[in-house]
Amino acid sequence: MKGSPWLEEHPRDRGVDVLDHHEAADVVVIGGGISGLSVARELLDSTDLSVVLMERDLVGQGATGHNGGQVVAAFERRFEGVAERMGRERAAQGFREVQGAWDALGGMVRSLRSPGLLQMVPSQLGIASPADLRSWTAERRRRGELGMPIGTLRVADDVPSPTGSGAEKVPREVLEELLWTRDRRYLAAVGMEIGLMNSYRFIELLAKDLLEQHPERFRLFERSPAERLRLSEEEGVASCRGLTVRADRVVLCTNGYRAPPIEACAPPMITGRVEGVVGYMVGSTALEGAAGARAYFRGGDEPYFYLTRREHLGGWLTAVGGPEGAIDGEYDPERAYRPEAFVRLGEFIDETLAIPAGARDHHWQGLMGYTPSGVRAVGRDPLLPPLYYNVGCNGIGLLSAVAGAVRLARLMVGEDMGPSMFDPESALSDDRESVVQRNR
């Protein structure tokens, strides 16, 4: 049985530099996944700051190398839910920033000169309940008001179309073909274009490129965990095996991984507020077909499932994910936390696709970090000036991580970005009242 197909697809060919001396820089970034490398890239390309990045293992081999392979300007939480919690202007600003991150990601990909790294493909989102159909109709309307793509809504011809939806009526057989499913429960589908990417390959290529392009301002230390942070009003110091990295600013990009203990004059806002959540995925090389992606909202308490199909090592890979579960304590990548999640994925595959059980040859899991709001936290800690965050996952994390990196780089050069749902005071607070109290 194989693990992550993304690590399998891109064997590493680069040596490892371990922190073996005291270091100093303008910024130290903790975490070498999508969040950390994107922050490093934005700082190096748009400022004159020097950057040290510390990664506990190898870059890209944590959550970045154990995901579903999709790049989507979307959130698990709908706009109205975010707006109700944080305010409409903050929500709108955050949604616009994620949509704008396509340009930043495109620039990164072009700089790496790696054709096919980001592949734009058609996708369909299947909707099985009338309540979800009404909700997605409202979401499309709101996205249109924000100038974001809304996709094409197709509704089965025996289902009433929501008022003002602009839906196209199609036979159920057409709907099932669009959704790559033999399951007849779906009422509608929303078609959009999204990206497919091996994010591990992306981050490994990005690390190599930054080391080559910025040898005087960028140092990358792997297998060099930040074991403790000490923060004063003016600087931060990260300790690793008796050695230190001293910097004017510290950026935590640890996502679901536990942040190092922090010594400071005030408690960091992140403390105890990011919950580790493990997602589970199954892949098969048994089916062929066109590249694309699908998502399935089945109604009720059922979690949504997602599917990615793309070329892989000369053949095709169909990857399916969806089930998640919270964990307590430090994440152990060698531990199988919820074997029953793979059983549930198998049941979904049986209901949806014709993939024999014996042909499901990849099983992997990945760690995410959820803030109380379910939205990424990006920005400076309100009580600790040297400490910044690009942490958390809204469930579909690559593009929001890049958006966070862009926001951080602009904040560090003094640009006024305006209030956003990503502000730590909003994303890390348990409710709106606590945000108000903290801002007084």
**CATH of residue 161:** 3.30.9.10
Radius of gyration over every alpha carbon of the chain, rounded to an integer in angstroms: 22
- Both 291 and 360 in one domain: the answer is yes
pLDDT at res. 73? 86
Of 69, 38, 59, 53, the residue nearest 362 (C-alpha)? 69
- Give per-residue burial for 19-34: e unless 16+ CB within 10 Å, then b: beeebebbbbbbbbbb
pLDDT at res. 77? 80
- Both 184 and 280 in one domain: the answer is yes
pLDDT at 92 over 50: yes
Q: Is residue 72 part of a domain?
A: no
For 68, the 3-state DSSP assignment is coil
- Both 294 and 256 in one domain: the answer is no
pLDDT at res. 276? 92
Residue with more model confidence, 396 or 423: 423
pLDDT at res. 395? 57
> pTM, whole model, 2 decimals?
0.93
pLDDT at res. 76? 73
pLDDT confidence tier of residue 433, bands split at 50, 70 and 90: very low
pLDDT at res. 428? 92
Of 70, 25, 63, the residue nearest 254 (C-alpha)? 63
Q: For 136-147, what is each residue's pLDDT tens digit?
A: 999 899 989 988
Q: Compute the distance between CA of residue 72 and CA of residue 396 in angstroms, rounded to an integer.
A: 7
- Both 258 and 386 in one domain: the answer is yes
Residue 390 pairs with which residues in a beta bridge?
Answer: 378
Domain boundary pick from 348, 370, 392: 370
Whole-number average pLDDT of the chain: 91
Locate the DSSP E strands across 360-435: 362-370, 377-380, 387-391
- Both 264 and 309 in one domain: the answer is no
Percent of the chain with pLDDT over 70: 97
Distances (CA, A) of 376 to 203, 345, 368, 423: 19, 27, 11, 9
pLDDT confidence tier of residue 25, bands split at 50, 70 and 90: very high
Number of H helices, E strands in the chain: 11, 19
Region of 274 please: left (phi>0), alpha (psi -120 to 50) or beta: beta
Q: For 222-247, what is each residue's pLDDT tens digit?
A: 999 999 999 999 999 999 999 999 99
Q: Compute the distance between CA of residue 433 and CA of residue 429 in angstroms, rounded to an integer.
A: 9
pLDDT at res. 437? 37
- Both 287 and 262 in one domain: the answer is no
- Both 356 and 232 in one domain: the answer is no
Q: Compute the distance between CA of residue 170 and CA of residue 153 in angstroms, rounded to an integer.
A: 10
Domain range enclosing 148 = 119-196+275-370
For 345, the 3-state DSSP assignment is helix
pLDDT confidence tier of residue 74, bands split at 50, 70 and 90: confident
Q: For 331-372, what is each residue's pLDDT tens digit?
A: 998 898 999 999 999 999 999 998 888 899 999 999 999 999
DSSP conformation class of 235: -
Tokens representing 206 are: 């990005």
| Structural domain count of the chain | 2
Size of the chain, expressed as the number of residues it contains: 440
DSSP conformation class of 427: H
CATH of the domain at 208: 3.50.50.60
- Both 188 and 280 in one domain: the answer is yes
Of 42-51, 60-69, 256-265, 395-404, the range with the highest mean pLDDT is: 42-51
- Both 361 and 307 in one domain: the answer is yes
Cα 374 to chain centroid distance, Å, stands at 12
